[in-house]
């Protein structure tokens, strides 16, 4: 999860998030190079005597500064499209979870486990344990296995919500009357936090998401849900 004074992105816990971080660094380096080139040109303009009268007829320069931005856009667009298609792939998921957004809590349904349904509310400050996180912990966590493809079916019962877990690279809108889906494969066990990322009313800040990811062998041993 994020910590105080953090500058970069959260550590990746899924292959998709690893790709997003790589693309972020790739685009950031291109931006740094462009900024350096522009600042260098401005510096030369301000400190050099402009005595060259042929600059207005430099067709080679015009060709370069027309083609170079197009090449840069292609270098950014190709990996971006690749990641976009990767996020839409659904390849034989091992588990399907349905998440329903409400004002202001989440309902989860394990469709592969006899229709197990439970609500997940934010823990009030009076009920927090010493190790719990204020405004982030919930009464019922979503327990999922690692190293297994998981499909999330996301919808809403009232207004627009957004189911987002940054460390997994997930952010999918919950829209009333529409069922959106996303998939992920977690690579490390742990407890991961997210929040609703769509302004959905007065208590928008108080509907966190908590995923407890455990090894697949432990998950297959039996029920691990505490309701």
Q: Give, rounded to a whole angstrom, the gap between the first and last alpha carbons of the chain.
A: 24
pLDDT for 216 equals 85
Burial classification of residue 198, based on how many CB atoms lie within 10 Å of its CB (0-12 exposed, 13-18 middle, 19 or more buried)? middle
DSSP 8-state class, residue 80? H
For the stretch 48-102, pLDDT in tens is 776 665 555 667 878 888 899 999 999 999 999 999 888 888 778 888 999 999 9
Distance CA 50, CA 52 (A): 6
Distance CA 7, CA 117 (A): 38
pLDDT for 227 equals 44
Average pLDDT of every residue of the chain:
87
pLDDT for 54 equals 59
For the stretch 165-179, pLDDT in tens is 999 999 999 999 999
Two tokens at 3? 């910590």
Domains of the chain: 15-88 (1.10.287.90), 95-221 (2.60.40.420)
pLDDT for 42 equals 87
CA angle 182, 188, 191 (to 5 degrees): 80
Q: Is 164 helix (H, G, I), strand (E, B) or coil?
A: strand
Question: Given the DSSP bridges, would you call strands 180-184 and 170-174 parallel, antiparallel or unpaired?
Answer: unpaired
Average pLDDT over every residue of 38-44: 88
Two tokens at 47? 């400190």
Locus of tokens 């856009």:
73
pLDDT for 50 equals 66
């Amino acid at each position: 999860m994020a910590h105080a004074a953090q500058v970069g992105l959260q550590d990746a816990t899924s292959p998709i998030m690893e790709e997003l971080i790589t693309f972020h660094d790739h685009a950031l380096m291109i931006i740094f190079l462009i900024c350096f080139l522009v600042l260098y040109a401005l510096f030369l303009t301000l400190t050099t005597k402009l005595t060259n009268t042929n600059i207005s007829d430099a067709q080679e320069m015009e060709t370069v500064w027309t083609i170079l931005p197009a090449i840069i856009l292609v270098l950014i667009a190709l990996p971006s499209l690749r990641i976009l298609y990767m996020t839409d792939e659904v390849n034989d998921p091992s588990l399907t979870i349905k998440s329903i957004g409400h004002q202001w809590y989440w309902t989860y349904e394990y469709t592969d486990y006899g229709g197990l349904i439970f609500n997940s509310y934010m823990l009030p400050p009076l009920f927090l344990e010493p190790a719990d996180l204020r405004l982030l912990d919930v009464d019922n966590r979503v327990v999922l296995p690692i190293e297994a493809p998981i499909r999330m079916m996301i919808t809403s019962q009232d207004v627009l919500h957004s189911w987002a877990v940054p460390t997994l690279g997930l952010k999918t809108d919950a829209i009333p009357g529409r069922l959106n889906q996303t998939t992920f494969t977690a690579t490390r066990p742990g407890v991961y936090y997210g929040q609703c990322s769509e302004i959905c009313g007065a208590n928008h800040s108080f509907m966190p998401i908590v995923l407890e990811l455990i090894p697949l062998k432990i998950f297959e041993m039996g029920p691990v849900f505490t309701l």
